[in-house]
């Protein structure tokens, strides 16, 4: 369930961060989150 929740959060956060102009940061963060999971 945690993985599903993480995916849902990423789906919400990615567009916001990308619109903020930091797509590299979210990609790096998501990779770290998946690695931690």
Q: What is the pLDDT of residue 7?
A: 86
| pLDDT tens per residue, range 1-37 | 688 888 888 888 877 766 665 555 656 766 677 677 6
Q: Are 30 and 10 in contact (CB under 8 A)?
A: yes
Model pTM? 0.38
DSSP 21: T
pLDDT for the residue numbered 13: 80
The angle subtended at Cα 17 by Cα 16 and Cα 23, nearest 5°, is: 135
For 7, the token pair is 């995916």
| DSSP-based three-state secondary structure for 28 | helix
């Amino acid at each position: 369930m945690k993985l599903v929740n993480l995916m849902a959060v990423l789906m919400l956060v990615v567009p916001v961060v990308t619109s903020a102009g930091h797509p590299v940061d979210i990609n790096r963060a998501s990779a770290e989150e998946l690695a931690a999971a």
